[in-house]
Structure 1
């Protein structure tokens, strides 16, 4: 990696991980990971079952048009949360090629995290408004007659937890910026 190392929202050192806050966060991350895997596997099994039912038994299950998008939405938004937590999203790192000043690079990364937090909050607001709209109308899916908010809450949950992790990210980046180049995060 060129330039200073990226700062993680969740600290990796054992001392910080012993606090109650980060122990609870670690359990939350486990729940997110398990739910993401379950939603993804369920989606795959649902698709396989649909192929068998439609072409093997010639009796398609019409509810798949509702269940598949719901499982996909949950898998996608849980994946977005987990990628935000672990900083696993794609980043170009071009800033480190243009600028060599560590403080400037960290400040630009901090500004990027703040911009991401603002974007997630705006999207989360509209997702919440949409979920509230469906809740007020008591909308249900056509075939399964499930409440539409089951789909909508994947977005609300996703944006809310992404905002939470961006807040942690911003706090970690501000601390790193305050500590300066002596804090050990400089790439060796």
Structure 2
């Protein structure tokens, strides 16, 4: 890898993970992972069941047009949260190729994390406004008659959790930046 190593939002050392905060976060990450896998598997099974019902039994399930997007949204947004937590985003690392100063690279990465947090907060705000709009109207799905906020809260919770992990990321990057400047003195 060129440049300084990326700082993880969730510490890798066992001592830091023993704090109550990070033990709760680890449980939350497990719940997110399980829910993400459940939503994805349920979506796949739902699609397979629809094929069997439509072509094998000639009796299609009309609710799939509602359930499939809901499961997909939950799977996608929980996946985004998990990728944010583990920093599994696709990145080119071009900054480290252009600049050789490790402190400058860390500052640019910190600025990028702030930009991501800002974007997530803006999108989260609009997702929350949309969910509130559907709550106020008490909108329900056509076939299943489920409240539409079940779909909307996937976005709201996804953006909120991503903001949480970006805040952890920013704190970790600031600590790393301070540690690097302290060692250079």
Fold match by TM threshold 0.5: yes
Deviation, 1:181, is: 6.7
Name the Cα RMSD after superposition: 0.9
Matching residue of 1:50: 50
1:127 & 1:93 partners in 2: Cα distance? 30
Matching residue of 1:82: 82
TM-score, length-normalised on structure 2?
0.98
Identify unmatched segments of 5+ residues in structure 1. 184-188
User: Which secondary structure does the structure 1 equivalent of 2:78 belong to?
Assistant: helix
Deviation, 1:96, is: 0.3
Deviations along 1:42-76, one digit per CA (max 9) or x if unpaired, are 00000000000001111110000000000000000
User: How many pairs are equivalent?
Assistant: 183
TM-score, length-normalised on structure 1?
0.96
1:45-124 matches, cutoff 5 A = 45-124=45-124
1:119-138 matches, cutoff 5 A = 119-138=119-138
Deviations along 1:81-108, one digit per CA (max 9) or x if unpaired, are 0000000010110000000000000000
Higher RCO, 1 vs 2 (CA within 8 Å, ≥6 residues apart):
1
CA contact (8 A) 1:102 1:181 kept: no
2:172 & 2:151 partners in 1: Cα distance? 32
Matching residue of 1:13: 13
CA contact (8 A) 1:7 1:169 kept: yes
1:20-35 matches, cutoff 5 A = 20-35=20-35
Runs of 4+ more than 4 Å apart: none
1:133-152 matches, cutoff 5 A = 133-152=133-152
Deviation, 1:182, is: 7.7
